[in-house]
Amino acid sequence: MLSWEIMRNVEEVITLEEFENALKGNPKGYVGLEPSGRVHLGTGLIIGNKVKDLMDNGVDMIVFLADWHAMINDKFGGDIEKIRLAGEYMKGVFSALGIRPRYIWADELVSKKEYWEKVIRVAKKTTLKRVKRAMTIMGRKEDEAELDSSKIIYPFMQVSDIFDMELDIALGGMDQRHAHMLARDLADKLGYKKPVAIHTVLLASLKGAGRMDPAEAKMSKSKEGSAIFVEDTEDDIRRKMKKAFCPPEIEGNPVLQIAKHVLFAYYIEKLVIPRPEKWGGDLVINSYEELEKIYGEGELHPMDLKNAVANELIRILKPIRDYIEKNDDIPRALGWIK
Ligand SMILES: Nc1ncnc2c1ncn2[C@@H]1O[C@H](COP(=O)(O)OP(=O)(O)OP(=O)(O)O)[C@@H](O)[C@H]1O
Ligand SMILES: N[C@@H](Cc1ccc(O)cc1)C(=O)O
């Protein structure tokens, strides 16, 4: 039986049976990150905490710092030195969050001839149409390879990373499923280990998702105003929350999503909504389900919800802010703080 902890925030597992079997051995899993900049709630607290859940269940977890992939994807204008600094910074942030996995840089894999053999073998078994469709794993649309065809190589590399590290488990948000499905389809054909794919929910942009595809409307560091970063100051968090989209509906409400997938999933058992005595005094909500019910019935004002969520985020993220204040050399070198 899979525990609640291991399944929280997981949208799909392919397949559950393979996952249960893998956990009986000493499975090796990974999640890949482009060390391309700052860490937001999605990467830090949804993915980061899932890495920890898997480690707590005996999975040898690797955080793969995809420096070469970030170069292909034009992060820091393709400046590999800055990308490496950003990777070192991410390690520090994860450690401050209490997440201490093993780290492997893509640079270690690409230095081997056998790695490039895998890239070619994967490409030989993949149609151009399928690899173009897979470009959403790098936050790009199909036609973005028209002017820069190096982008076509990226999905082949991501699949080859999985094969090269002989992984049992590949973790990522729902936006990574094209890579994992391709790896699963090709594993048997090419004689490599077939990974179990675990996909987490995607936190929506603070601006709201509307009817957009969840992968396109996700909280992302590349989309201005969409994200709360784990190192945001108290003022940043309050300002962003104030502006956040918070409709009366539950569906597609980014503030409720943070309450559900970050706060109640990992950090709190009750949410206290501070309210003046004349409006009934503080409201104590004992579960996410209760919050959804009260909010859905219009019994809780969006502004009160936003304030309560902001208060909790400020408290949870305090260790990260303390860490950054003491270790600001990389953010300074990268020009994030002056
Ligand atoms: N909003 C989100 N909610 C949950 N997980 C996310 C979210 N955004 C990204 N992830 C996951 O975090 C991992 C790292 O993603 P990535 O580095 O692309 O994040 P990002 O900040 O959105 O980057 P970029 O904006 O440059 O595409 C991936 O597994 C991805 O699925
Ligand atoms: N495509 C992932 C990063 C990644 C790179 C290489 C991998 O092997 C895995 C993941 C992202 O954009 O977040």
Q: Which helix (H) or strand (E) holds 171?
A: strand 169-173
State in Å: Cα 202 to ligand 1 middle.
8
- The yes-or-no verdict on residue 170 having pLDDT over 80 is yes
Q: Which residues line ligand 2 (CB under 6 A)?
A: 32-34, 64, 66, 69, 137-139, 158, 161, 176
Cβ(219) – ligand 1 distance below 6 Å: yes
The domain spans of the chain are 4-200, 234-316
Mean pLDDT confidence for 70-94: 95
Fold observed for domain 234-316:
Tyrosyl-Transfer RNA Synthetase (1.10.240)
Return d(Cα 240, Cα 2) in angstroms, integer: 36
Cβ(49) – ligand 1 distance below 6 Å: no
Predicted confidence at residue 325, as pLDDT, reads: 87
Mean pLDDT confidence for 253-272: 97
> For 288-312, what is each residue's pLDDT tens digit?
999 999 999 999 999 999 999 999 9
Q: Calculate the average pLDDT of the chain.
A: 94
DSSP for 39-59, written as a single string: -BHIIIIIIHHHHHHHHHTT-
- The yes-or-no verdict on residue 333 having pLDDT over 90 is no
Cβ(218) – ligand 1 distance below 6 Å: yes
Mean pLDDT confidence for 223-242: 93
Q: Which CATH class is domain 4-200?
A: alpha beta
Site of tokens 């799909």 = 12
Closest ligand to C-alpha of residue 47 is 1
Would you state the structure tokens that stand for residue 278, as one six-digit string? 């004349």
Q: What is the ipTM of this complex?
A: 0.96
Return d(Cα 286, Cα 161) in angstroms, integer: 43
Predicted confidence at residue 182, as pLDDT, reads: 98
**pLDDT class of 221 with cuts at 50, 70, 90:** confident
Q: Which residues contact 110 (CB under 8 A, 6 or more apart)?
A: 68, 116
- The yes-or-no verdict on residue 248 having pLDDT over 90 is yes
- The yes-or-no verdict on residue 211 having pLDDT over 70 is no
Q: Up-side HSE of residue 283: CA atoms within 13 Å toward CB?
A: 18
